[in-house]
Structure 1
Amino acid sequence: MTIIAIVSQKGGAGKTTLAVHLAAAAERRGEVALIIDADPQATASQWAAWREDQPPEVIDSAPPRIAAKIRQAEEAGATFIVIDTPPHADAAASKAMEAADLVLIPCRPSAFDLAAVKTTAKLVKLLAKRAWVVFMAGAPQAERLHADAGKLVETYGIAACPHRIADRAVFRHASALGRTVFEIEPDGKAAREAERLYMWACEQVGLTTCDYVEEVTR
């Protein structure tokens, strides 16, 4: 079973967008995916309610119960779990990271968001976890901006993921409908970005598939 924790100390970083699309991509690849919503705002849970029981499943959890919820999910057959955590909550972040095989830190390429990565980076180091920053909601063609942001987060001891999720209206449109970009625009740029990120994450945890090279080079 694969467990990915989505952690950021900054609100509005794109945690839930990242969580639901990783889980949805896993379902598309034949995994039994589950999102553990540890955020009191329950955004992922609301998204699931709008979906009317379509997978991936979302369950809520208080931070102290995350490990128990993971055990129950594994017994029920889950093979891919994404933990969506709240901002400004070290306890929840710690519990999620402790359980995770991989930590992803969503971050907009802006000064305030980049500064917030420092706190999460300290926690990553303390728990000795493998982690990457995933840039979210930046301009699609802003290569220089993302390169500079990547260099900055490296000074915190965290590398930037080579794939990012750009600011595309289809992500907002899909979320409002309780859907994903795979369902709204399956052949669109947003779907390709989310799929590439998922395949890259699989590689990091040893779930490389024969499709990975083909997918990331399209």
Structure 2
Amino acid sequence: MTTIAIVSQKGGSGKTTLSVNLAAAAEASGAVALIIDTDPQATATQWGAWRSDKAPEVIDSAPPRIQAKVDAAKGQGATFIVIDTPPHADSAASRAVEVADLVLIPCRPSAFDLAAIKTTVSLVRLYDKPAFVVFTAGPPNAPRMYEEASELVREFGIAPCPHMLPDRAVYRHASAAGASVLEFEPDGKAVAEITAVHMWAIAHVNMSTVAVEGV
């Protein structure tokens, strides 16, 4: 089972968008996916309610119950869990990082957003978990911007994910319809991008597991 925490100090970074679509990409690949919503705003939970009983399932959780919810989900057959967290370094973010195999930090490629990830990076270091920045909601065609943003996050001591999720209207349209981008626009660019992030994340977790087992 793979557990991924989506953590960021900055509101509007795209945590819930990444969470629900990453879980949907996992489900589409054959995984049994689950989203654990720890954000009091409950945006992921609302998205799940709009979908009725359609996978991936979304459940909420208080911070002290995150580990128990992950354990219960594993016992019920879940193979891919995404934990959506609030936009501040509170107990939910800490517990999510603690139980995760991998931490993804969504971040817009702008100065204010990049500066805001420092607190998240410090939190990840406390638990010594593998973590990467995923650039979100930036221009689709701005390679120099992403290069400069990547250089900056490396200076913070964290690496960027090699795949980005640029700003695309389909994310907003899909969410409003209670859908993932995979369902809303199956042949669109957003699907290729979120699928690439999912495949990369799985490969990274698998490599980390093999490395630990080989120690």
Q: What TM bracket, shorter-length normalisation?
A: over 0.9
Given residue 112 of structure 2, which amino acid in structure 1 is its aligned partner? F
| Structure 2 unmatched ranges of 5 or more | 208-215
State the superposition RMSD in angstroms: 0.9
Given residue 174 of structure 1, which amino acid in structure 2 is its aligned partner? A
Which residue of 1 is the match for residue 180 of structure 2? 180
Which residue of 2 is the match for residue 79 of structure 1? 79
Given residue 117 of structure 1, which amino acid in structure 2 is its aligned partner? I
Contact between 2:89 and 2:119, CA under 8 Å: does it hold in 1?
no
Pairing 1:123–2:123 present: yes
Pairing 1:25–2:25 present: yes
Report 1:1-218 matches (<5 A): 1-206=1-206
Distance 1:200 1:78 in 2: 19
Deviations 1:153-194 (A, max 9, x none): 111111000001010000100001100111111111011001
TM-score calculated relative to the size of structure 1: 0.93
* 1:204 to partner: Cα distance: 0.5
Q: May I ask how many residue pairs the two structures share in their alignment?
A: 207
| Structure 1 unmatched ranges of 5 or more | 208-218
Sequence identity of aligned pairs in percent?
Answer: 68
SS in 2 for 1:137: coil
SS in 1 for 2:137: strand
Given residue 17 of structure 1, which amino acid in structure 2 is its aligned partner? T
SS in 1 for 2:191: helix
Distance 1:125 1:137 in 2: 26
Deviations 1:49-72 (A, max 9, x none): 111110000000011110011111
* 1:89 to partner: Cα distance: 3.1
SS in 1 for 2:135: strand
Deviations 1:45-102 (A, max 9, x none): 0000111110000000011110011111111111110000001133111100110000
Q: Which runs of 4+ in 1 moved over 2 A?
A: none
TM-score calculated relative to the size of structure 2: 0.95
